[in-house]
Chain A
Amino acid sequence: MRDFRIVFSVLLRQRLRTMFGAKAKSGGGRIAVTVLMIFSFAVLEAMWSTACFEMLRGLDTAGRAALGLFGVFLASMVMTLFFSIASVIGTLFSANDAELLAALPLRSGAVFFARFMFVYFGELAVSLFIALPAFVCYMLIAGGGVLSVLAGVAVLLLLPALPLAVATVLALLLMRSAVFMRHRETFMTVMGFLLGITLSLGGNIIGQMTGRMGLDGITSVMSGAGDVLAGASRVFPPAAWAAEAIAADGGTASALLHGLLYLAICTAALALTGIVGSRTYSRSVFASRETAKRGGRKARLSANSMTAKNPVLACMRRERYGLFRSPTYAMNCLLGAVIFPLMILLIPFMTKASAGENLGPELAGVGAMRLFAVMLGDVPARYVFAGALGIMLFATFANIAASTAISREGEGLERLKAMPLRMSTLCYGKLIVSAAANAVTVLLTAAVLTVLLPAYWVTMLAAAFAASVAGIGTAALGMLVDAVRPKLVWQNEAEAVKQNANGFFGMLLNLLIGVLVGGAGALAAVFWGMLPGVLAAVLTAAAGSAAGVWGLGRAADKAMI
């Protein structure tokens, strides 16, 4: 416990000082950024709280507000499961202080658990952002005594425990197996990608099953029979136990039983994580740091290697290596490019599963893959173009590769500043990679939409072209934020990308391009036809991107030295 306390307190102090003691351009600038962040989060939380309130009030009329609570808890757990995998790998395995701590007389299990708890509190903040409004709304609508409130606090504090334990054990096993690989980081990156996709799809399948269960349950509740939570608990029991511990009013035997079940499974998960972690952590963490066997890969200084290149291309290549070879960066920055189109592909299956026969008799026999095509019928292509353009633009908004491009350089940025290299050149090199990531997302999204709506393949192609051009601008704007206020002091790679508000600010700025391009394209398409719509979208995208690239270059050369 002593070792844990020492390590945890030093990690916490380091993080807090990085967060609140970082150099700012000016006091006014720092205050403005803080105010903007608080305002943005407050607006998001207010919107989410309103949605929770409406949903719970609706369910409460059927006497089943607890179902809403269960859904929110489940959503929070699924999000933790999916998003924490990159945090776990980054914080536990890519920390700058790993060697320092390893050399000190500290138990490896204590170091592991201190880092784990560090990730835990980060994920807890996200969980509370999602689940706390639902809990408060539930208490306002359905009521409950002091014991319910106490049960609720306990449940909320333990919400990330189970998914984080699963993600951590998987990450530990992945890292442990990487010890045996020669190309460890490539192996970890590929496996991390597969793990991320699997967890994401797994979460959606749980959601899909719950959706079906929920509707059946509601139907049965309406007809006065069955218990929704009893049904839901068959899909993912812990989330239902958590909801039941609060819903059944903390004082009852049922609430106590469900609360104890939830507590037991969380404790078991944490204990298992502790056992696996203390046994495998120290070996796993140094797997990628071991000195490689020499002699096998002597530099090839002839033929294709070491040819002179333009500095922009040199920076582009360096950025590509940096992104793809770090499991943390690859997962945080590039996984979304694959996941987003996959999510779209799942939508018809989820719609079929959750809405079932309610879609209408004419759609009852239609397969999921043809569902949207049949539903849309012969809608004019210009409307489809407007919708597809919006979806594709949305796919490019959250480009973490762009909005953390400079932060990821860390303190090593100083070395680049000492070279005869314009910061705009560096940014343009990085921009090629980020814009390419956007283009990949757009093209994959277009491919998925084409599969779902094959008759509109030309429309999808046109929307993809416009969105790809706009993707250069969204990447440039995201990077511009990071060029102006990079987060260069961090202790591990996950911190560089996940605890970086620039991703959020980049998204806000990208809304501008989205509104401009999407608005121009959609309005022109709807009012004047397909061709004017495409032209308007492409021209606006090109103009926005040119302005974004120019602004990025200017900002980089002015702000980064």
Chain B
Amino acid sequence: MLRLEGITKTYAKSAVPAVKSLDLHVRRGEIFGFIGPNGAGKTTTIKMLCGILRPDEGRIEIGGADMAKDPIAAKRNFCYVPDVHDTYDRLTGQEYMDFVADVYGVPTKERRERAAKYLEMFEIADAAGERINTYSHGMKQKLLIAAALLPAPPLWVLDEPMTGLDPKSSALLKDEMRAHTAAGNTVFFSTHVLEVAEKLCDRIGIIRNGSLVAVGTLEELRGGKDESLESLFLELTEDDYA
């Protein structure tokens, strides 16, 4: 579903690459957790795979479409929930969802059904007619998630999706992620909450200093030892916390 081949990115005025020759293959039907210390290159990687940043080298393929050659086809295969909430705050929640649905070409019947479902699910239906600048932090996050899920693309790319969500919404989102992958789709998400990654992910990738230092299922990462993801993570990123 998602294939990154040797992607490298060095920001202007920086001698050190933010992401170095990163290879990754995320399969259909799996929830992939992407974790790493602050500044490790998570957001840069996510921005590259979403087409926000162009990699200096390497290739990104989403659902068979090459991001460099056919970005629109590649982007139709995923939705993205960013880690910042400063959205188009002069629009109402409903107008924002409508806009996203239009961009993805969601037909009227489906958009109404799904909009109603997600707005009710995240308990923001009553606020959907209000402008986004009147929303609380959590409500904005719920709206961004609801709008991103509305087009129902096969891949969800979620950057810190649980931040700001109340426990109920967080649990509902996890259920949705599981249901999405159970239907043969894919979820790629970054998180700093290792318990969530441990319980939710089929596979986990750990990035450090722009390189993927470990990829696999939790069992594979443990390598037969009986240790938590937290211990494993701290071991692999020891220097960053020294």
Contacts and interface: CB of A to CB of B under 8 A. Distances in A.
A516 to B, nearest CB: 34
Given A96-B86, A417-B51, 5 more contacts: A185-B90, A306-B115, A311-B103, A414-B82, A421-B72
A322 interface: yes
B130 A308 contact: no
B86 A411 contact: yes
B120 to A, nearest CB: 10
20 contacts: A23-B12, A96-B86, A297-B129, A298-B125, A298-B129, A301-B115, A306-B112, A321-B88, A414-B52, A414-B82, A415-B87, A417-B50, A418-B50, A418-B52, A418-B75, A418-B82, A418-B157, A420-B72, A420-B103, A421-B75
A299 interface: yes
B108 A306 contact: yes
B221 to A, nearest CB: 29
B114 to A, nearest CB: 10
Instruction: List 6 A-B pairs, minimum CB-CB distance, nearest first.
Output: A297-B129, A299-B128, A314-B102, A420-B75, A418-B50, A325-B90
A412 B136 CA distance: 18
Contacts of A421: 72, 75, 103
A326 B133 CA distance: 11
Contacts of B94: 299-301, 305-306
Interface string A348-389: 000000000000000000000000000000000000000000
A308 B103 contact: no
A310 interface: yes
Nearest to B74: A420
B127 A294 contact: yes
A295 B102 contact: no
B48 to A, nearest CB: 11
A291 B98 contact: no
B155 to A, nearest CB: 12
Interface in B95-113: 95, 97-108, 111-112
Contacts of A308: 101-102, 105-108, 111
Interface residues of B, number: 52
B130 A292 contact: yes
Nearest to B113: A301
Nearest to A419: B103
Contacts of B93: 299
Interface string B74-85: 011000101010
B135 interface: yes
A314 B99 contact: yes
B27 interface: no
A561 interface: yes
Contact of B112 (A292, A302, A313): A302
A368 to B, nearest CB: 41
A305 B157 CA distance: 28
B19 interface: no
Contacts of B87: 412, 415
Interface string A295-331: 1111111100111111101110110011001100000
A321 B133 CA distance: 13
B164 interface: no
Contacts of A317: 95, 99
A76 interface: no
Given A291-B135, A417-B52, A418-B75, A314 B98 contact: yes
B37 interface: no
Contact of B95 (A301, A321, A420): A321
A494 B88 CA distance: 16
B102 A300 contact: no
